[in-house]
Structure 1
Amino acid sequence: MVILDLFSGAGGLSEGFFRVNSTFVGHVEADSNACKTLKTRTAYWNLKKANKLNIYNDYLLKKISTNELLEQANISSSDDVINIAISDETFNGIVKRVRKNMKNKNIKKVDLIIGGPPCQAYSVVGRARMKEKVVDDPRNFLYKYYVRFLEKFQPKMFIFENVPGILSASNGEHFSNIKTAISKAGYHMELKELIASDYGVLQDRKRIIIVGWKINKKKKNKYEYPEFEKIENLYTVSEVLKDLPEIEPGTSKEGKGLYKDKTNDYLVASNIREDGFDILTQHITRPHNEQDRKIYEIAITKWNKQKKRLNYRELSEENPELISHKNITSFTNRFNVIKADEKASHTILAHMAMDGHYYIHPDINQIRSLSVREAARLQSFPDDFYFEGPRTSIFRQIGNAVPPKMAEQIAKKIKEIL
């Protein structure tokens, strides 16, 4: 499949399509750190195809620089990753760069466009946070550029993913406008809400996956919404965490020989850590003050012993000395422990970049929030997936992504159809 990837983020959706041997003519993304991540991952796939993963492993071990990696992977001067915000001013320039990249790769046609505009303006949490400002948020209207790319490149199909809140934003007006615009562009679309835990991801993450295809008025339509293959979950969240070494808040552990255990069946089946892979990267934690750690300890104990979540209002009654927020009546579940003995964790969100209270590690001996690598694993990113940028940006990239394992199941089915 030849694919154009829009609003790419760190590449969770595209990772699934890389795994079924797709060719990309461009990943278009506004965030510079996410683009650096996309370049690093494109380098990984180029080197894997060339049977030169030793070069990539040298990068993970910090033996070579980013520039050396990109140069040896033949992407230092390519337009595979385009770091530009899509707008009226930039649209034509992006189209030219994609077409030039197609020409350089001797590709004449795009089969599939994938991606989803930023979801903050559609998500229920985002709308609550922005209040009346959400009405004029320009991100509400980025779908129009997605439709313009459909009109320009005329792919056979497209995948448009977003949060469930897209259906209810502005009382359904935005979704109605999206549907109308896609129809005018000559495409039929259908959608379903998919849950990541049905596709090999140990997380209750819900996404709206819209699949569309070009309407051919002369021929009877041969496409329909695919039945993506579900994966029976035989594991608990503990499988994601158990081989990683213990770590203190505000520290990191990276390098060879640092895994606590061999890999396990879940990690192998989900392509997170293959047997024999022994380079740990980005096991990095944020620092916590002593007050927060005392609250974490109470939250962990309460969950592990009573299967009960910490309620902030109850905390104010039982341990008033630990209360720093005056508001004890709303968002009372602000401290949340990852439930290691269940089959799925709660959703990893981009807000994790702001604080770790909602993502507390279940081990009473560590008393901290999740590390970068642990959050990435809960999203089903493989351990050899390296995120670029500062820690805050990396957490945001992880939280915004489509889980690669879920994306892989989507990619397999779309490839079969095409």
Structure 2
Amino acid sequence: MRVNSKQLTYLELFAGAGGLAEGFSSAGFTPVAYVEMDRYASLTLKTRIVYHYLVKKGKAGIYTKYLQKKISREELYGMVPNIELNTVINEEISEENIYYLIGVIQNKMKQKKIENVDVIVGGPPCQAYSLIGRARDPYRMKNDRRNYLYQLYVKFLEVFKPKVFVFENVPGLLSAGNGKLWEDVQRYFKEAGFKIEYKILNAYDFGVLQNRKRIIVIGWRIELNLEYPEFEKDSYVEKFNVKEVFKDLPPLKPGEKMYTGEYIGEPSEYLKYYGIRNNDDILTLHIARNHNERDRRIYKLYIEAWMKEKRRPEYNELPEELKTHRNRKAFKDRFKVVAPDLPYSQTIVAHLGKDGHYFIHPDINQLRSISVREAARLQSFPDNFYFEGPMTAMFRQIGNAVPPLMAQKIAEKIKEMINAL
């Protein structure tokens, strides 16, 4: 397999489940490799590689059989050449193995006859930079080695010398360590030979029904005459509310797991316009976590408060018998309804893998937190995107991802930047 000389290539570090990968692949980039330490996220990446391969070959029906549990994952993967599946490197990026990983990637480039990496994308795990993470850590994350993963990212820049890189993270990166960390990050990028600029971008402005702000750093080799791209705000998304995500999905009881099922209506205009649900899709991973009776009583109170008064109660307003936390200040915003009548939801986060209290489904008849498929839709993952692993791992993958709609529009701008050279 020789990559067309005009075909732009990318390498993804800290790849997660593939939100950025979905965006860059949709924009026509060819992956060199994905490096991801989590086993389940790596399997999700492989399953998506198989999906794209089979669609290109006109064999999407095989993928559908997998979704319907008619064939095993091993049988599915057997439909694809190893050179494609081996694009995923399930390894942690660390000081100890960085040069091993670089060697593995260089070997893959030789096998695929890829001469250079045009773009490096990815963002190190962001919990260490998040305001919530720092609040929970008495040392303010100073000793968390995840704070320094950007230094390893820079090593890849120095070796592969891409034209452009995209580094995504939480806005808390700018203020971590009183701004000292961000100063160090910029210095490392500059010393590696890159000019950088950044903006805090909101996924909602890219068509995602979610209030999700992220710092997007774009860097380019100093000798290249490039500028940070202008992103036009997607105004069409303003026609829609969050209910667009829920209305065609069957109701679930807490703990009910519909791994494959039937939609109960046509896709909404939002789902169709943004390519989240297509006519030939089948419903998968509409699975909900279980809840005890106390949590369901709390959910009912919060749903009623929103639907009747458009109000979000504080934790202290709950009846005393429903309170379980002594620290009433830290937990005052513990429960939250995903309001169907707002233009966007609260930020979908990886903590959804631990509990769903901050993501209560708005239907008072269901009294549960949102399902895996509902969370994926709020992140703009298409319905044909399948997440591997147990339910908690699926939620974590979704919460950590860059929304694919946002990723694709970033990728298209990066493509324009490079093609203009």
Q: TM-score range by the shorter chain?
A: over 0.9
Alpha-carbon distance in 1 for matches of 2:49, 2:269: 27
Aligned to 1:301: 304
Give the Å deviation of 1:255.
2.5
Alpha-carbon distance in 2 for matches of 1:375, 1:80: 27
Aligned to 1:259: 263
Conserved in 2, the CA contact under 8 Å of 1:78 and 1:101?
A: no
Conserved in 2, the CA contact under 8 Å of 1:196 and 1:205?
A: yes
Conserved in 2, the CA contact under 8 Å of 1:156 and 1:214?
A: yes
Conserved in 1, the CA contact under 8 Å of 2:18 and 2:401?
A: yes
Alpha-carbon distance in 2 for matches of 1:2, 1:79: 16
Give the Å deviation of 1:40.
0.6
Find 1:192's aligned residue among 195, 199, 206.
Answer: 199
Give the Å deviation of 1:254.
3.1
Alpha-carbon distance in 2 for matches of 1:276, 1:85: 37
Conserved in 1, the CA contact under 8 Å of 2:50 and 2:80?
A: yes
The one-letter code of the counterpart of 1:265 is E
Alpha-carbon distance in 2 for matches of 1:281, 1:75: 26
Alpha-carbon distance in 2 for matches of 1:207, 1:238: 24
The one-letter code of the counterpart of 1:260 is I
Give the Å deviation of 1:328.
2.2
Aligned to 1:170: 177
Structure 1 range deviating more: 72-81 or 3-12: 72-81
The one-letter code of the counterpart of 2:337 is V
Find 1:222's aligned residue among 201, 222, 225.
Answer: 225
Alpha-carbon distance in 2 for matches of 1:77, 1:224: 33
Alpha-carbon distance in 1 for matches of 2:23, 2:73: 24
Aligned to 2:248: 243
Q: Secondary structure at the match of 2:210?
A: coil
The one-letter code of the counterpart of 2:9 is V
Find 1:113's aligned residue among 120, 125, 150.
Answer: 120
Give the Å deviation of 1:14.
1.2
Alpha-carbon distance in 1 for matches of 2:72, 2:120: 32
Aligned to 1:151: 158
Aligned to 2:77: 70
**Which whole-Å deviations, capped at 9, do the CAs of 1:230-270 have from their partners, x for residues lacking one?**
211210000011100000001111335x1010112100122
Give the Å deviation of 1:78.
4.3
Conserved in 1, the CA contact under 8 Å of 2:50 and 2:85?
A: no
Conserved in 2, the CA contact under 8 Å of 1:272 and 1:377?
A: yes
Structure 1 range deviating more: 287-296 or 47-56: 47-56
* Structure 1: gaps of 5 or more residues: none
Per the normalisation by structure 1, the TM-score is: 0.96
Conserved in 1, the CA contact under 8 Å of 2:359 and 2:369?
A: yes
Aligned to 1:287: 290
Alpha-carbon distance in 1 for matches of 2:359, 2:95: 39
Question: Are residues 39 and 183 of structure 1, via their aligned partners in 2, closer, same or farther at CA, if it must alter by over 3 Å?
Answer: same
Alpha-carbon distance in 1 for matches of 2:54, 2:321: 55
The one-letter code of the counterpart of 1:138 is R
Give the Å deviation of 1:79.
2.5
Conserved in 1, the CA contact under 8 Å of 2:165 and 2:218?
A: yes
Aligned to 2:358: 358
Q: Secondary structure at the match of 1:57?
A: helix
Conserved in 1, the CA contact under 8 Å of 2:350 and 2:399?
A: yes
Per the normalisation by structure 2, the TM-score is: 0.95
Q: Does 1:40 align with 2:44?
A: no
What does 1:10-409 correspond to in 2, within 5 Å?
10-75=17-82, 78-132=85-139, 134-216=141-223, 221-232=224-235, 233=237, 234-256=239-261, 258-277=262-281, 279-315=282-318, 319-409=319-409
* Structure 2: gaps of 5 or more residues: 1-7
The one-letter code of the counterpart of 1:21 is G
Give the root-mean-square deviation of aligned CA atoms.
1.2
Conserved in 2, the CA contact under 8 Å of 1:199 and 1:405?
A: yes
Alpha-carbon distance in 2 for matches of 1:321, 1:90: 52
Give the Å deviation of 1:70.
1.3
Identity %: 52
Conserved in 2, the CA contact under 8 Å of 1:309 and 1:336?
A: yes
Conserved in 2, the CA contact under 8 Å of 1:79 and 1:98?
A: no
Alpha-carbon distance in 2 for matches of 1:131, 1:243: 45
Conserved in 2, the CA contact under 8 Å of 1:229 and 1:409?
A: no
The one-letter code of the counterpart of 2:290 is P
The one-letter code of the counterpart of 1:68 is E
Give the Å deviation of 1:113.
0.2
The one-letter code of the counterpart of 2:304 is T
Q: Secondary structure at the match of 2:127?
A: coil
Alpha-carbon distance in 1 for matches of 2:300, 2:118: 52
Alpha-carbon distance in 1 for matches of 2:204, 2:140: 33
Conserved in 1, the CA contact under 8 Å of 2:325 and 2:331?
A: no
Give the Å deviation of 1:200.
0.3
